[in-house]
Structure 1
C-alpha cells in the first residue's frame, strides 16, 4: 500500500490522481502544511480523497506546526483538507516521526469552535477567501454548528423551520443574524450589500444551500439500515474566486467544460477578454456518507454489487426525483431546486460520488423539469467515465457574483 500524498499546489495534480492512488488500499496520509488551488473543483476532490483514505487508514503525516493551539486553529480554518484529515484520523505524526496526535486534535477542536459559522463581512472578523463550517458526528458537541442548524427549545434542528438560518427575504437584517446565504455571498470582495438585487441573490443561494445540507443531514450520517458511522463529517466549504479570465481557464484545463465556462462567461458589453477580472463564489457541500446512489442501490438489494451502469442510473435518478414544479425551493429532499437555482444564475455544478463525476455548465445547458434526452447525462454530451471509487459526496456550485464582473 502506498501513502496518499496531498501536495501544497492542488492545481498541479490531476482531478482524479489523488483518488487513483487509493485503488490498491492506502498507507499513511502525507499532508502538506498548506493547500493552494485556483481550480474550484480541486479542493472538493482532495476532500473526498482524504475521506476515502480514512476508510482504510487513520494515520496522518504532516509538518504542520501544532505547538501554538490558537495559531494552529486559525490556520486550520483555512486548510479544510488537513482539518478533515485530522478529524478522521486516529494518529498524527509530525517531523522526525514524533507523535503529535494530542496537539493536532486539540488544534482541530479549537478550529471548530472558532469556525462554527461563516463570518459576516463588516463584523470586525477577518473573512478571508476560504472558509468552512463542519459538523463532526462522532464528537457530540460538534454535531450541529450554529452556522448550519437552528437552535430551538427542542435542541438543534435542520427541519423545515431551520431555513431561516440559510435564507430570509428581509432586506434589513440585524448583522449578527445574517443568514448563511448572505454570509457566503458576502465572501465576494464586493462584500455584504443592502440593495435589493443582493438580497434576492443571497436568498436564492441560501435556499439552494438549505436543500443540499438538509439532504446531507438526512442521508449521509447513517447507512441504509440507519446505523451510525463510527466516523462521519459533513460540511460547507466556501472559496471566493477573483482571478483574470485566462488564469481561470488555465486552472480548468483538465475539466474541459469548466475551462469553456470561464472562457465564455460574459462581463458586460463587448466580447470576453482574457484579461477580464472574473468573480465567483465556489461553494461545496461535502460529506463522508455512503454516496449519492447508495440508498437507492441498497433499497434495490444491490449492496456492494452494483455495476457502474446501475450506479450511474441511480445517481441520475437522485437528481430527477421530487420534480414537482414547486417553486418554493424549501420543500422536499430532492435536488431539483438547486438545479433551478444554478440555471437562474448561470452557474456551474459538479457532483463527485461513488465511481462518477458529473459536471454541468448551466449557462450552456440549463436545467428543465424532467430533463429531455438532450440532457441524458446531466447536461454532459457523453456518458461519464468510470473513475476510482470514492467514499462520500461533494456537490460544488460555482456561482457568479452578479454586478461584480468587470473587464
Structure 2
C-alpha cells in the first residue's frame, strides 16, 4: 500500500494546496492509497481527495491563467479520477479519442506563456511543436493505460507540461553536471544575438510499463544487461517498429526525432533503468533522421549505464524559441 506524508516545511494552512499545485505532487497524491498529515499520524486522505478534485476541476475546465503555476502549464489526464470523462484539452469529449489537432492547444499555451515573457510568437514553429506533442501524447495513450497483459491499470496518468525557461549563456548552473546539456548550450551560445535565451520546456509523461518492457512484451528484470534494455528502447525509434497490429502505427517516435532535429532541440528520456540524452544544433537544412541520430548517451556523455529503475516514461524536451534580436 502506497502511503504519502505531507511535508512539514510548508505553511500548514496551505500544505495540501501547495502539494497538488505541482504536477508531481498531484500525481503522487492521486496514486496514494493513504495520505498522512504533517504530524506523521493523522489520516487526511478524505480531505486530500477534495483538494485533488478541486485542482483537477481547474485543470480540466479552467482558463489557462488559473492553471499556470510557477511558469508551468500542466495538461494532464488521471484516468481513475475522471468521473466526467477525460481531460477535454487532450481528448475529444464526444469520442474519448486523443485530439486529432494539437495546433490550437499549442497556440493557446504559447500565447499565455509568451505574453508573460514578452516573446514573439512568430519565433516559434507552432505547427512543428503541435506535431511533436501529438506524436508523444498519442504514444502514451496507446501504451500507458494498460499493463503488459492488456489489462487496464487500477491507477494511471499521463500528460504534457509546458514551461518557458530563461537561460543566460554560457550557463553552468542550469546544466548542472549534465555534459550533454552543457554541450548543447555551448553550441547554442554562438548562434544567439543575446546572452539570455528562452527555451520552451515540455515534458510528456506516463505511468505505463516503460518503453523497453512494452517493446519486449514482459517486465525488465534487474538481471537483464542494461545494454539489452537500451537496444529495446532504441528499437522503438526505428521506422515501422510497433507493438500495435495496425500498420499505421510505428511512425510516432521517428517523427518525434525528426521534429526534434528540425527545431534544434534537446531531449532527456527517462524510462526503466535508463536516463538517455540527445540533442541537435539549430539551423539544420532539410533534416533527415539517420542511424547516428538514434544513438543516445548518458549524462556523462558516454554509453548508457544503469540508473535506479522508474515506472513509466518521461520525455523532457528543450526547444529554443528564437535566437535572433
Q: Give the superposition deviation at 1:144.
A: 1.5
How many residue pairs were aligned?
A: 311
Equivalent position SS for 2:147:
coil
Q: How far 1:103 sits from its partner (Å)?
A: 1.8
C-alpha RMSD of matched pairs (Å) = 3.3
- Measured after TM superposition, the shift of residue 322 of structure 1 is 3.1
Listed as ranges, the matches of 1:349-388 within 5 Å are: 349-363=267-281, 368-372=288-292, 375=293, 377-378=295-296, 382-388=302-308
Alignment match of 2:100 (pick from 158, 163, 182):
163
Q: Deviations over 1:211-263 (max 9, x none)?
A: 000000000111122111122111112221123225x4312122111122123
5+ residue gaps, structure 2, are 242-247
Residue 291 of structure 1 pairs with residue 210 of structure 2: yes
The alpha-carbon deviation at position 163 of structure 1 amounts to 2.1
1:347 aligns to 2:289 (yes or no) = no
Structure 1: runs of 5+ lacking an equivalent? 1-55, 168-178, 324-329
TM-superposed deviation, 1:332: 5.0
Partner of 1:239: 163
**C-alpha displacement of 1:133:** 1.7
TM-aligned CA distance change 1:384 to 1:72, over 3 Å? same
* 2:167 and 2:174 in contact (8 A); partners too: no
Alpha carbons 1:119, 1:127 under 8 Å: kept: no
The CA distance in 2 between the partners of 1:196 and 1:185, in whole Å, is: 7
TM-score (norm: length of structure 1): 0.67
Deviations 1:301-352 (A, max 9, x none): 66646432221111000012338xxxxxx97553111111111111101100
Q: CA deviation at 1:109?
A: 1.5
CA contact (8 A) 1:377 1:383 kept: no
Q: Partner residue of 2:226?
A: 308
Q: Distance in 2 between matches of 1:289 and 1:127?
A: 26
The question of whether the paired residues in 2 share the 8 Å contact of 1:135 and 1:233 is answered with: yes
Q: What TM-score, normalized to structure 2? A: 0.82
Tell me if 1:402 matches 2:319: no
Of 110, 131, 154, 1:207 maps to 131
| Aligned residue in 1 for 2:179 | 256
